[in-house]
Amino acid sequence: MESGYKTGKVLISAREIQNRVDALADKIASGTRGRELLVVGILNGAVIFLSDLVRRMPLELDVKIDFMSISSYGNAVKSSGVVRILKDIGSDIAGKDVLIVEDIIDTGLTLSYLLNILNARRPASLRTCVLLDKSEKREIPVTIDYCGFSIPDVFVVGYGLDCGGSLRHLSDIHALDAIDAIDG
Ligand code: 5GP
């Protein structure tokens, strides 16, 4: 069936992703001092990563899940610089161990903004877990506690990451040199 997109070359395969997600889940679980962990996924890009990550966490850890949605790229490849909360988490995080799960960090604008707002709510701890790090593009320094892969400055899709809302469902991560939409 014609998808309407050429997806570019595979940058990180599904198998590599799954191996790395296993290792990250182990590290996060062993680095969590309390018995409870609130995992906050950033919609929509982190949904697939988060769902794989939490399912690898041990039963002994009381894992809770919540989501935030903030404005970021929209359909464009370049950041607008505008960061705004579209959906907030539903629970009070004061005194809790919180882990932010994000698909990709680029300029750092999004994550630094989120860290500021969530830190102001006085969690016991606030850590960050990012699947992909484009460190070349960083404009604001951000501490990443758990990182999946460092990648070059290419636009990527798949495993939750989109191009104009599409291609999130791909199991591999693909690099697009140019967004290569073709007529369906
Ligand atoms: P930052 O605020 O760090 O510049 O950007 C983070 C957000 O930009 C991510 O959550 C994601 O929505 C978007 N983004 C940055 N690079 C890429 C990319 O290569 N592919 C896709 N699909 N989104 C990206």
- Nearest ligand 1 atom to alpha carbon 162: 22
Q: Positive or negative, the Cα torsion across 149, 150, 156, 161? A: positive
Domain architecture of the chain: domains with CATH: 13-153 (3.40.50.2020)
106 included as an active-site residue: yes
pLDDT in tens, 93-119: 999 999 999 999 999 989 998 999 999
The rounded Å distance from CA 106 to ligand 1 centre is 6
Q: Which of 52, 97, 103, 106 is catalytic?
A: 106
From the CB of 46, is ligand 1 less than 6 Å away? no
pLDDT digits (tens, 9 = 90+) for 9-54: 999 999 999 999 999 999 999 999 888 999 999 999 999 999 999 9
**pTM of the complete model beyond 0.75:** yes
pLDDT of residue 164: 92
Strand-strand pairing, 85-87 and 97-105: unpaired
User: From the CB of 28, is ligand 1 less than 6 Å away?
Assistant: no
Number of helical H runs and strand E runs in the chain:
3, 9
